[in-house]
Amino acid sequence: MNYKSILITGAAGFIGSNLAKSILEKHKTSKVIGIDNMNDYYDVNLKEYRLKTLNSFDNFIFKKSDISDKNALFSIFEEYKPDLVVNLAAQAGVRYSIENPDAYIQSNIIGFYNILEACRHSYDDDNTGVQHLVYASSSSVYGNNKRIPYSTDDKVDSPVSLYAATKKTDELLAYSYSKLYGIPSTGLRFFTVYGPAGRPDMAYFGFTNKLVNNQKIKIFNFGNCKRDFTYIDDIVLGISRVIQKIPSENSDGVQYKIYNIGNSKPENLLDFVTILQEELIKAGVLPKDYDFESHKELLPMQPGDVETTYADISDLERDFDFKPSTSLRDGLKMFAKWYKSFYN
């Protein structure tokens, strides 16, 4: 990634900001152009906090823009001519897709289509153009897949949420553009990413906010769900390795690949909340005598949720000699320490 112009969308987001920071620290000859619309889906102060860190780097350029604005996006591509594109901008969240479907179509489908079109036209007039497009998919595409662990070879034609359907659509669009226009592209199916300065709508963050405010936390499927929690530093390392390796042509002559990135170790939700509580107490976020049991409410499964997520990462290990290694306790410990520092 040295001496490259790298465009990261969703740069003020959780994964985007951590990826940008890692690249800026390790590849000082590179230039990172970050795009984010800074919407208020969750606390904008958190996005500004992440962005403040990035703005301290001389080789970082920020553009407040929306990828669903095609003209604005094309102007950014024309001005900075990115060598590498990492699309992490998206409307996230399974349950919110039931409440506000328009946001998902606008960002995840129209926005991603615009990214593909911008990559396509980067080759106009015999320009070198985009050398590799890496984009975020999601473990949600597996729906209620009965095969465990989830493999990228599995059929994923039965999404159980609109969010999942938009991510599957992105994978199909990327394949067609790779086939038609020779855009090397790699999709990454993320599995429950967590860590410091994460998304407040994620369970570990939302649970913490509620416990701090003496509210009950809702644990669905009566706590019988399992999630493949993946720490942010592992995700960033995985993406960084993927960016630097353009996929080989498949049997159809298309430079296109999809990988799972997960810890490959599902954790029961009740075990997860117990570890979270313990680490919040150790960090001083909650008092030592906190009555945790009285703050739990067990509820049935919610629409759009699945019982288990479990990543088969054999392809990732084979192609990149990489496997996430941060334990859930270590990851939640780092989150709890950050939470104490940030909100104190």
Q: Which residues are catalytic?
A: 163
User: Rounded CA gap, 314 and 322, in Å?
Assistant: 9
Cβ(203)–Cβ(151) under 8 Å?
Answer: no
Nearest to 169, CA basis, from 96, 247, 111: 111
User: Rounded CA gap, 260 and 311, in Å?
Assistant: 6
Instruction: Please state whether beta strands 226-227 and 267-268 pair in parallel, antiparallel, or not at all (unpaired).
Output: antiparallel
Return all residues near 321 (Cβ < 8 A) that are at least 6 apart. Answer: none
Cβ(201)–Cβ(96) under 8 Å?
Answer: yes
User: Rounded CA gap, 300 and 51, in Å?
Assistant: 38
User: Rounded CA gap, 2 and 164, in Å?
Assistant: 34
The amino acid sitting at 137 is S
Return all residues near 327 (Cβ < 8 A) that are at least 6 apart. Answer: none
Nearest to 139, CA basis, from 150, 154, 124: 150
Cβ(285)–Cβ(339) under 8 Å?
Answer: yes
Strand, coil or helix: 283: coil
